[in-house]
Amino acid sequence: MNFFHLEQHGITVKDIRRNVAPAKLYAEAIREDPNCVIADSGALIAYSGEKTGRSPKDKRVVKNPATENEIWWGPVNIPIDEHAFRINLERARDYLNLKKYLYCFDGFAGWDPENRARIRVICSRPYHALFMHIMLIRPTADELADFGEPHAVIYNAGEFPANRLTAGMTSKTSVDLCLESKDMVILGTEYAGEMKKGVFTLMNYFGPKRGILTMHCSATADPETGRSSLMFGLSGTGKTTLSADPKRQLIGDDEHCWSDTGVFNIEGGCYAKAIDLTPESEPEIFQALRYGAVLENVVYEKETHRVDFADTSITQNTRGAYPIDFIRNARIPCIAGHPTDVIFLTCDAFGVLPPVSRLSPAQAMYHFISGYTAKVAGTEMGVTEPQATFSPCFGGPFLVWHPMKYAELLADKIRRHGANVWLVNTGWSGGSYGVGKRLKLAMTRAMIDGIHSGALAQAPSQPDPVFGFDVITQCPGVPAEVLIPRNTWSDGAAYDATAHKLAQLFSNNFRQYEDKVSPEVREAGPKV
C-alpha cells in the first residue's frame, strides 16, 4: 500500500497511488477497467462514456470579489457562486472517498523552471492518470520528492454526476474552476480533455497577471539559431500538418507561453485528432501512438485489436495522446528563443484572402482578436455558401481575461522582439468553395518556408484595397498570379462583392470588442 496522503485536500482514502509508472497503469486499467483494452500498436484504448468531447456550456468559474473584475464574463466564463462550487467540490470528494484506492499524479505545467506551475490530479480511473502522466510534464525522482504543495488541484470525479438542483447547474455535467483556491472539480464527464483544458484555463489566467502571454498555438524552432516560430489556427486550417516540418524542431502542438526569456510549451505531450489517421497522412503521429500512448474512443477489430481510424461510429472526435518525446524531431526541453515569426492560419472558404500577407502590430491585434476561419458549405437547412467562424485569440473557449488583454501582450512582445506577423490563407483560390479550388499544400509549405528563411520579409508587396494588409507578390515556389486573389477569379466583380461581404462579417464580429480596443486597432480592420 502507498502511504502518500491527501487529507489536506479532503481525501481520506488510505491507498493513494502516486505517479504510477505507465506499465503499472496499463496493468491496472486492463484488470480493473472494463472500458480499456490494448491496441495492436501497444497504445491503451480507453472510452470516456457518454461524453466524447468537452462540455463548454457546463463550464463554470467562481465569481469572487477578489477576481470578478478581471474575468471576461459571458458564454465562455459562466459564473457560479462560491457556495454552489463548495457543494460540487464536496460531492466530488465524497465520491472519491468511496473508492478503495485513488490515483494521484503530480506534474508541471510549463517547461520553463522559472515559470512552471505544480499541478496535482486526483482521479479514480487509471486511464485518466495515464492521460495526465502524458499531458503534464513528468517530474524527475528528485523533483517529485521536493514537489511540495501544488499550485492547483484537479478533483476528477467525472463518473459521478452533478446534482441538477445545485444552483447554476444546467445538466448532470459540471466543470468548475475556482481561481482563488485554484481548485478544479469535474463531475458528470469522463472525457480526459477536460483536465487538459482546465490546466490551460488556469495558465490563461495566471500567466497574463505576470506579463506572460499564454497562447493556443503550435511552435517550432530553428535547430541552428534556437529562435522560434508560432502558428495559430482554428480546426481545419492546417496547423498540425504545417507544424510537422522536418527542417524544424517541434516545441509543441497546442499550448505555449511567451515570457521575457522566450517561448516554452505548457504540456509534456500532444493530444492529436485521430480521425482518418494513416501512416501516409501523418507519419509522425501514427508512429507515436504506441506503447505509452492513449487512444480515446476509437473503434478496433475485436480479434486483432487493430484500430480503424476511419470508423467514427462512437464519435468524430477520436483522439490520441502521446508524450512529446515520441516525436522524432521534438526539441527537449520544449523551450526556445523569442519568435522570429508569428503566423495566423486561416482557411478562407470565401476565396478572397491572399495566400500570404504581412501584418502591422495593430493589424496583428485586430486579426488576433478576430480569430477568423471559414467552414465550407453544408447541406443542413439549405446552407449553400461558406460560413465564417470567429474565435478570439484563436482559442476563445479557454480565455479568462478579455481578448484585448492577450492582444496587448502579443503586440508588446512583437514590438520588443522584432517578430514579423503573417496571415496565411490555406483555403480557396479562384472563387469560393464550389467554384474555386483549395490552395495546394505544396504552395502553402513553400510560403511557410519563405517566412522561416526570411525571404518573404524582403519580398515585394502591395496593400490590399479592402483589408489593408501588405499582400506578398513574390514567393519562391509559388506562381505570382496565385498571390493576388482577385487575379485568380474569372469574374472580378464577383470577387469584389465577396470581399466586401467578408469584410462586413469581420466588422460585425468585431463590434463586440470595440469598446475595449484603441482607435488604432479599430482602424486596422477592413474598410467596409
> Quick check: helix, strand or coil at residue 508?
helix
pLDDT digits (tens, 9 = 90+) for 105-145: 999 999 999 999 999 999 999 999 999 999 999 999 999 99
**Is 235 a catalytic site residue?**
yes
**Is 17 a catalytic site residue?**
no
Q: Does pLDDT of 347 surpass 60?
A: yes
> Quick check: helix, strand or coil at residue 442?
helix
**67 vs 296: CA distance, rounded Å:** 36
The pTM (predicted TM-score) of the whole model is 0.95
pLDDT digits (tens, 9 = 90+) for 165-179: 999 998 999 999 999
**522 vs 66: CA distance, rounded Å:** 31
pLDDT digits (tens, 9 = 90+) for 279-332: 998 899 999 999 999 999 999 999 999 999 999 999 999 999 999 999 999 999
- Mean pLDDT throughout 411-424? 97
Quick one: which H or E segment has residue 87?
helix 82-96
Q: What is the 3-state secondary structure (H, E, C) of 397-413?
A: HHCCCCHHHHHHHHHHH
Among candidate residues 51, 60, 128, 197, the one labeled active-site is 197
The overall average pLDDT reported for the chain is: 95
CATH topology of domain 339-522: Phosphoenolpyruvate Carboxykinase; domain 3 (3.90.228)
pLDDT at position 377: 62
Question: Any residues with CB less than 8 A from the CB of 147 and at least 6 apart, and which?
Answer: 106, 118, 139
**Is 319 a catalytic site residue?**
yes
**Is 256 a catalytic site residue?**
no
For 443-458, letters b (16+ CB in 10 Å) and e give bbbbbbbbbbeebbee
pLDDT at position 407: 96
Q: Does pLDDT of 381 surpass 70?
A: no
**Is 438 a catalytic site residue?**
no
Domain with CATH 3.40.449.10 in the chain: 14-33+51-210
pLDDT at position 235: 86
**Is 464 a catalytic site residue?**
no
Domain with CATH 3.90.228.20 in the chain: 339-522
Residue 474 burial by Cβ neighbours in a 10 Å radius (0-12, 13-18, 19+): middle
Among candidate residues 225, 235, 261, 490, the one labeled active-site is 235
Pick the CATH number of 14-33+51-210 from 1.20.140.10, 3.40.190.10, 2.60.40.10, 3.40.449.10: 3.40.449.10
Among candidate residues 240, 243, 318, 373, the one labeled active-site is 240
- Which candidate, 403, 402, 110, places its Cα nearest to that of 232? 403
